[in-house]
């Protein structure tokens, strides 16, 4: 089918008896220039496995097939699953996984192994859950390329002290180098969303910390940002997680962190250093 034609998309959906579901953010890319830019970012290689989250009607799928060793699609819509199975039947380089990627990715990773690349056009309702789940659980393909709403991209890439900087920013930036690659106008999709989208490029960072320290870091970050009006000290006091006030105070002093500051003033590395210090037997 012509994935760039709204008329053909409407006809295909009508033939399949499918209606678009707003909760799943079903906006199909119809701009070939944007599709080419996404492909350039993903840069699939003949020996690589690529995961695509939400292939929809197969716009990007068609372009990826033949460029990688295996393409695995995660599709939550059963009607679109049937269409994709029919469209790409018989291909040994294509596989589908039914269901919500947030719920399925860990099990699929255990069964298929870690992919080389991940790409997807993520609905706003699911994007933070997908990316957050990946970041929190150490999911580290070579590259992740996602189309998200501009507001979410701003949260992902936010710098300390900015209004968009949050615990989500910290956890994601600790796991990945985040780059806002380019914006996509609403008219590049059918149906057109009401907001501008941004393609974000995520590259995993090396994680020197042990799993227990990483888990402590994530709990500490959630506690530190629990109330933006409170100081770091007040938020951490309320949390404590088994640490005495003396140990909290000593860890802050050892890292040169003012207890009276607010969490949004601290970058991911300083919060990670604080978690390491709290976990250290030398404190």
CATH, domain 6-204, list 3.40.50.300, 3.40.50.150, 3.90.1720.10, 3.90.1150.10: 3.40.50.150
Residues 97-133: tens digit of each pLDDT: 999 999 999 999 999 999 999 999 998 789 999 999 9
**Residues 188 and 29 sit within 8 Å (Cβ to Cβ):** yes
Nearest CA to 108 out of 93, 122, 121, 118 is that of 118
Q: What is the mean pLDDT of residues 177-198?
A: 97
How far is the CA of 71 from the CAs of 51, 122, 132, 133, 171, in angstroms? 6, 17, 23, 21, 28
pLDDT above 90: percentage of residues in the chain = 89
242 pLDDT band (50/70/90 cuts)? confident
How many Cβ atoms are within 10 Å of 78's Cβ, its own excluded?
Answer: 11
C-alpha distance across the termini of the chain, in Å: 64
Tokens matching residue 258:
């003012």
pLDDT at 165 over 90: yes
pLDDT at 26 over 90: no
pLDDT at 159 over 70: yes
What contacts 53, CB < 8 A, 6 or more positions away?
73, 74, 101, 118, 119, 120, 121, 122, 130, 146
**Interatomic CA distance for residues 276 and 255, integer angstroms:** 10
Residues 52-94: tens digit of each pLDDT: 999 999 999 999 999 999 999 999 999 999 999 999 999 999 9
Residues 252-268: tens digit of each pLDDT: 999 999 999 999 999 99
pLDDT score, position 207: 81
Nearest CA to 95 out of 137, 138, 103, 113 is that of 113
Nearest CA to 162 out of 232, 231, 265 is that of 265
Domain with CATH 3.40.50.150 in the chain: 6-204
Phi/psi of residue 202, nearest 5 degrees: -115, 130
Q: Report cis status (omega within 30 of 0) of the bond before 49.
A: no
278 DSSP 8-state letter? H
In angstroms and rounded to an integer, the radius of gyration of the C-alpha atoms of the chain is 21
More confident residue, 145 or 126: 145
Class of the domain covering 211-279 = mainly alpha
pTM summary value: 0.95
**Residues 60 and 68 sit within 8 Å (Cβ to Cβ):** no
* Averaged pLDDT of the chain: 95
**Residues 74 and 106 sit within 8 Å (Cβ to Cβ):** no
**Residues 186 and 196 sit within 8 Å (Cβ to Cβ):** yes
Domain with CATH 1.10.8.100 in the chain: 211-279
pLDDT above 70: percentage of residues in the chain = 98
């Amino acid at each position: 089918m012509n994935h760039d034609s709204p008329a053909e998309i409407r006809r295909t959906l009508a033939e399949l008896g499918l209606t678009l579901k707003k909760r799943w953010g079903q906006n199909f890319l119809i701009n070939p220039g944007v599709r080419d830019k996404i492909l350039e970012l993903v840069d699939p290689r003949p020996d690589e496995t690529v995961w695509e989250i939400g292939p929809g009607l197969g716009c990007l799928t068609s372009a990826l097939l033949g460029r990688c060793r295996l393409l695995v699609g995660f599709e939550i819509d059963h009607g679109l699953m049937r269409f994709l199975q029919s469209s790409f039947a018989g291909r040994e380089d294509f596989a589908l996984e039914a269901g919500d990627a947030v719920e399925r990715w860990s099990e699929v990773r255990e069964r298929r192994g870690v992919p080389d690349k991940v790409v997807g056009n993520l609905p706003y309702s699911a994007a933070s859950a997908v990316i957050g789940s990946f970041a929190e659980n150490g999911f580290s393909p070579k590259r992740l390329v996602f189309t998200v709403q501009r507001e979410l991209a701003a949260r992902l890439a936010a710098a300390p002290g900015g209004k968009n900087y949050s615990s989500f920013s910290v956890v994601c930036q600790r796991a990945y180098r985040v780059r806002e690659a380019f914006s996509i106008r609403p008219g590049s999709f059918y149906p057109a969303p009401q907001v501008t989208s941004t393609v974000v490029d995520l590259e995993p960072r090396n994680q020197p910390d042990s799993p227990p320290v990483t888990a402590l870091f994530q709990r500490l970050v959630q506690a530190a940002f629990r109330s933006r009006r409170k100081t770091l000290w007040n938020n951490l006091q309320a949390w404590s997680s088994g640490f005495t006030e003396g140990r909290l105070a000593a860890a802050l002093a050892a890292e040169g962190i003012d207890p009276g500051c607010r969490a949004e003033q601290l970058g991911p590395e300083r919060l990670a250093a604080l978690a390491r210090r709290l976990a250290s037997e030398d404190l």
